[in-house]
Chain A
Amino acid sequence: MITLAELVNAVPLLIIAIAAILTLLITTFFKKSTDVVFAVTIISLFAAIFFYFGDLEKDALIFTESLRINMVSIMFSVIALTAVFISVLSAKSYIEKEEINFGEYYSLSLFATLGMLVMIHSANLIVLFIGLELMSICFFVLTGFLRKRVKSNEGALKYFLLGAFMTGFLLFGISLIYGTSGTLDFIKMLQNQSLVKQPLFLIGVALFSIGFFFKMGIFPFHMWVPDVYEGAPTSVTGLMSTAGKIAAVGTLAPFIVNTNVTSLKVIFSVLAVLTMLFGNVIALSQVNIKRLLAFSSIASAGYILVGITAMNEFSVKGVAFYLFAYTFMQLGAFILVSVIEKPSDSSNDYKGVNLDDYKGLASKNPSLAVLLTIFLFSLGGIPPFAGFWGKYYLFYAAIKSELVWLSVIAILLSIISIYYYLKIIVYMWFSKESGNEVEIVVPPFASIALYIAAGLTILFGLFPNLFFVMFKTVLK
Chain B
Amino acid sequence: MMRRWLPFVFGAGFLIWVAALVMLAMTAEGPQRFGELYLLILLVNVTGVIALLVLIGGRLADFVRDWRRHVPGSRLRGRTLLMFGGLAIAPLLLVFTFSIMFLTRGIDSWFHAEVRQGLTDALGLSRAALDMRMREYLERTVRIAGRLEGLSQGSLYFALDDELHAAGAEEFVVTSAGGQPIAFSRAGLLHALPAVPPEDLLMQLRRGQPHVSLQPAPGGGYQVRAAATIRAGPGESTRLLVAIYPVPQRLSDLAATVQTAYQQYGQLSYLREPLKATFVLTLSLVLLMALLAAVYGALYFSERLVRPVQDLIAGTRAVAKGDFDTRLLRASHDEIGFLVTSFNDMTKKLARAREETERSRAAVEAERAALAVILARLTSGVISLEPDLRVRVANQAAGSILGADFTGSAGRPLAEIAAGEPILAELHAVMQRHFEAGETEWREQVTLRTDSGRRELVVACTALPGDAGTQGLVLVFDEVTQLLQAQRQAAWGEVARRLAHEIRNPLTPIQLSAERMRRKLMRGLAASEAELLDRSTQTIVQQVEAMKQMVAAFSEYARAPDMHVSEFDLGALVRQVSDLYHAQDSRVAFGLSLDPKAALLEADPGRIRQLLNNLLTNSLEALDGTPNPVIMIETKRVGDLVALTVVDNGPGFQGGLLEQAFDPYVTSKPKGTGLGLAIVRRIVEEHGGQVEVDNAPQGGARVRITLPATAREARRAEARREKA
| Pairing of A with B | no
Interface residues of A (CB under 8 A from B): none
Interface residues of B (CB under 8 A from A): none
